[in-house]
Amino acid sequence: MTNKIKWGVIGSGGIAKRRTIPEGIVPAEHAELVAVYDINPEANSAVAIEFQAIAASSIQDLINSDIDAIYIASPASLHHEQVVACAKAKKHILCEKPLGMTIEEAEQMIAICKEEGVLLGVGLMMRFATQHQAALKIIQEGKLGKPVYGRAQLSCWYPPIPGAWRQYPKTGGGGSLMDMGSHCIDLLEMFFGKIKSVNCFINNTVHSYQSEDSAVVSLFFENGAMGTVDTYFCIPDNSSKNVLELYGSKGSIIAKGTIGQGAAGEMVAYLESNDADYSAEQARSAAEGLVIDPKPVNTYMAEIEEFSCAILEKREPANDFTLGLRSQQVLAACYESAKTGKVVEV
Ligand SMILES: NC(=O)c1ccc[n+]([C@@H]2O[C@H](COP(=O)([O-])OP(=O)(O)OC[C@H]3O[C@@H](n4cnc5c(N)ncnc54)[C@H](O)[C@@H]3O)[C@@H](O)[C@H]2O)c1
């Protein structure tokens, strides 16, 4: 193996084409795009031409090309069978979220990857945003005090589109909560630790497709902190500022737009414990707080680079399967709560 991991992609036409291939696999130092596969041959050959890759004609054809790792970015309901096929062919796998449709699927995917000795990572790339990492450091250093309350919001406008897989529970596993709330829940667990129990409402407030277009979750963390995730498919893009708010006994960290696909967010920390020495190079003084403004990284590049290095260094990736399984466990508790109207332990 050289110092570049050779990548194949399944589901080349969506997020893979828009972000993960051009911003992640192509520019990453330890990655190289070799082959792509999509059920839509026209879309696939367009991606193959654009990024000078082989257009595989089937998953088997992709597996047979000279690749070490596969990025799976197909609709959620296909992740399980595709991970199984790739693992059996001894390919390392970075699977987009959700890891499966259910806890059981995620557990089976993990078991087969362990059996076959391949790495399994999950595409929860928002953890890599440098502002999120800076916020985590502030919390870990105790500068926020005891975690008290966290809110993570991710919403967009997603109108009815015939056949769109996210709009049917059978192919998406759920709506806004499964699709975008998964990132919010994952981030809040990164900041505040494990969630103990949830209370969730879902609804179709505006759109009448089968999956929910609205979800609000109240979270109770093991450390006693509380939180909220609000995630909607029926709020116009520019009207949702994708807010992240983290409060502790010594201050707060307030961000707009750091949750999402781009790197255009603003984050300010209000620390009230006379920590005048806090001057990591990523922070500069602002009138009312410390602007947390580290050099941004592209989160898709960071996830591909980290996973590629994990393969090269024969270690588990930072975003390994445990995060994917955990996400399924919390999401399952949320949907159970929405169904029963009860608080559900994770
Ligand atoms: N982390 C992120 O920022 C992010 C953003 C968007 C989507 N996603 C995840 O990526 C995955 C794909 O989402 P998307 O928005 O790109 O969806 P999409 O519908 O835009 O694209 C999915 C692609 O998969 C292809 N496809 C469908 N069936 C296939 C099959 N049997 N074999 C191979 N290809 C097949 C489609 O033709 C399409 O090109 C989902 O798991 C989603 O949750 C992650």
Q: What is the pLDDT of residues 233-252, one digit of tens each?
A: 999 999 999 999 999 999 99
Q: Give 262's pLDDT tier (boundaries 50, 70, 90).
A: confident
Residue 153 Cβ < 6 Å to ligand 1: no
Residue 80 Cβ < 6 Å to ligand 1: no
Q: Quick one: pLDDT at residue 280? A: 53
Distance 220 CA to ligand 1 centre (A): 32
Instruction: State how beta strands 147-153 and 243-248 pair.
Output: antiparallel
Hey, what domains does the chain have and what are their CATH numbers?
5-125+300-318 (3.40.50.720), 126-296+330-345 (3.30.360.10)
Write the residue with the smallest CA distance to atom 5 of ligand 1: 15
- pTM exceeds 0.85: yes
Round to whole Å and give the CA distance between 303 and 321: 14
Contact between 118 and 317 (Cβ < 8 Å): no
Per-residue pLDDT at 68 exceeds 70:
yes
Write the residue with the smallest CA distance to atom 11 of ligand 1: 73
Angle (CA) 109-115-121 rounded to 5° is 45
Nearest to 101 by CA among 341, 342, 324: 324
Q: Quick one: pLDDT at residue 101? A: 95
Residue 261 Cβ < 6 Å to ligand 1: yes
Round to whole Å and give the CA distance between 36 and 231: 32
Distance 299 CA to ligand 1 centre (A): 18
Distances (CA, A) of 337 to 29, 188, 218, 252, 274: 44, 19, 10, 29, 42
Distance 10 CA to ligand 1 centre (A): 9
Residue 123 Cβ < 6 Å to ligand 1: yes
Detail the DSSP E strand segments found in the chain. 5-10, 31-37, 54-55, 69-72, 92-95, 120-122, 147-153, 195-203, 214-221, 226-232, 243-248, 251-256, 266-271, 283-285, 290-292, 344-345
Q: Quick one: pLDDT at residue 277? A: 53
The gap between the terminal CA atoms of the chain, to the nearest Å, is 41
Q: What is the pLDDT of residues 145-201, one digit of tens each?
A: 999 999 999 999 999 999 999 999 999 999 999 999 999 999 999 999 999 999 999
Q: What is the pLDDT of residues 101-144, one digit of tens each?
A: 999 999 999 999 999 999 999 999 999 999 999 999 999 999 99
Per-residue pLDDT at 282 exceeds 50:
no
Round to whole Å and give the CA distance between 97 and 82: 13
Atom of ligand 1 nearest to the CA of 19: 3
Round to whole Å and give the CA distance between 198 and 332: 10
Instruction: Give the mutation target among 9, 96, 319 for probing the ligand 1 site: most ligand atoms within 8 A of CB.
Output: 96
Residue 13 Cβ < 6 Å to ligand 1: yes
Distance 203 CA to ligand 1 centre (A): 24
Q: What is the pLDDT of residues 296-329, one digit of tens each?
A: 999 999 999 999 999 999 999 999 999 999 999 9
Per-residue pLDDT at 279 exceeds 60:
no
Distance 228 CA to ligand 1 centre (A): 27
Strands laid side by side in the 226-232 sheet: 283-285, 290-292, 266-271, 251-256, 243-248, 147-153, 226-232, 214-221, 195-203, 344-345
Per-residue pLDDT at 286 exceeds 80:
no
Residues whose CB falls within 8 Å of the CB of residue 104, separated by 6 or more in sequence, listed in order: none
Distances (CA, A) of 286 to 143, 218, 268, 269, 274: 17, 32, 8, 10, 15
Atom of ligand 1 nearest to the CA of 124: 1
Distance 96 CA to ligand 1 centre (A): 8
Q: Quick one: pLDDT at residue 288? A: 72
Residues whose CB falls within 8 Å of the CB of residue 105, separated by 6 or more in sequence, listed in order: 79, 80, 99, 328
Atom of ligand 1 nearest to the CA of 179: 43
Q: What is the pLDDT of residues 195-231, one digit of tens each?
A: 999 999 999 999 999 999 999 999 999 999 999 999 9
Residue 94 Cβ < 6 Å to ligand 1: no
